[in-house]
Structure 1
Amino acid sequence: MARFIFKLQSVLNLKQQQEESKKNELGKAIQMLEAERSKLSELEDSMTASVKEFNEKTKKATVHKLIEFNEYISLLNSKIKSQKDNVNNAAQYVDKVREELLKAVKERKILEKLKEKKYEEYLMEQKKLEQKTNDEIVSYNHNESSAGD
């Protein structure tokens, strides 16, 4: 019996490698997103603490200190806005990689289905060949026994 050979096996192997690569890339992208979210959370916590401190010291602070506090809070607001952009960009990247992974999975599954179909066709062909061989043997044996009579 001849061995089954899937002509697109190298393509299937490549698709499997691409899928694994996208899984790894997605994992890294999610880690990056979580790191960006953590930075944003830290900035927001710092802002909350600074506003609270500002409110407590407003009554006793000099004008110069109030101006410094105001500038610091403005700086924190700017950093928070920038960090929100970073979080949004990281989230978009995660979505993009997730879509690429889904595409890679779909392509791999299509090739695997094709391989299964080709293997079933191969098995049917092998069964037909075996049946043909058996029929020839029976026919040969029948002819031999008829000739011997």
Structure 2
Amino acid sequence: MGFVFRLQSVLNIKKQIEDGLKNDLGKAIIEYENQKEIYNKIEEEKKNYVDSVKTKSQEGISVGDLQKYGNYIGFLNNKAKEQMVNVKNAQDNVDRYREKLIKASQERKIMDKLREKKYTEYIKGQFKKEQQISEEISNYKYVENLG
């Protein structure tokens, strides 16, 4: 009979958990990148709009229009602040999954090391049995040759 690791099912579960967390971490990173991209687009829109207002104000602009532009820039500032909260939440989510993955990976590595240790013990035991059998055969042949 070959080597059987009694805790193989536990090791398999640890690997599945680790793989699932790798997948979850990947999704969290994608979400974080998406949230950052949204934030960058808002900031870019705000910059372009401010530049446009500066150009128009040099050409001459009514106070009413200037107020409308100011309100829209304020709106974009608030939108950017809200989006920054989304970016921060997404980053926190990435950090949480990363920590869970590190822990799961450590637990799986411990199980792998235990499996390796048990396998090494098994191999040593098999080698010892083979040596005993070889000695018995040698002793049998020796006794047979005497007789």
Establish whether TM, by shorter chain, passes 0.5.
Answer: yes
Aligned to 1:140: 140
Output the CA distance in 2 between the equivalents of 1:65 and 1:6. Answer: 77
CA positional deviation for 1:53:
2.0
Gaps of at least 5 residues in structure 1 are none
Q: Match for residue 31 of structure 1? A: 30
- 1:56 alignment partner in structure 2: 55
Moved more, 91-100 or 57-66: 57-66
Displacement of 1:33 after TM fit? 0.7
CA shift, 1:76, in A, is: 0.6
1:110 counterpart residue number: 110
CA displacement at 1:37 relative to structure 2:
0.7
User: Could you tell me which residue of structure 2 aligns to residue 77 of structure 1?
Assistant: 77
Tell me how large the CA RMSD over aligned residues is.
1.6
> Counterpart of 1:3 in 2: which secondary structure?
coil
- TM-score normalized by the length of structure 1: 0.89
Q: Report SS of the residue matched to 1:92.
A: helix
- The amino acid across from 1:42 in the alignment is K
Counterpart Cα distance in 2 of 1:48 and 1:143: 99
Q: State the Cα deviation string for residues 13-61 of structure 1 (Å, max 9, x = none).
A: 1111111111111111111111111100110011111112222333633
What percent identity do the matched residue pairs reach?
A: 43
For residues 135 and 80 of structure 1, the distance between their equivalents in structure 2, rounded to whole angstroms, comes to 81
Q: Equivalents in 2 of 1:55, 1:123: separation in Å?
A: 79
Q: Residue 121 of structure 1: CA displacement? A: 0.2
Taking structure 2 as the reference length, what is the TM-score of the superposition? 0.90
User: Matches of 1:143 and 1:46 in 2, distance apart?
Assistant: 97
CA distance in structure 2 between the partners assigned to 1:49 and 1:39 by the alignment? 15
Letter in 1 for 2:56: K
Partners of 1:66 and 1:119 in 2: CA distance: 78
Deviates more, 1:88-97 or 1:47-56: 47-56
Aligned to 1:21, the other structure's residue is in SS state helix
Q: Which residue of 2 aligns with 1:20?
A: 19
Task: Give unmatched runs, 5+ long, in structure 2.
Answer: none
| Residue identity opposite 1:138 in structure 2 | S
> What do the CA deviations read for 1:95-119 (whole angstroms, capped 9, x no partner)?
1111111112211111111111110
Alignment partner of 1:130 is 2:139: no
SS at the partner of 1:57?
helix
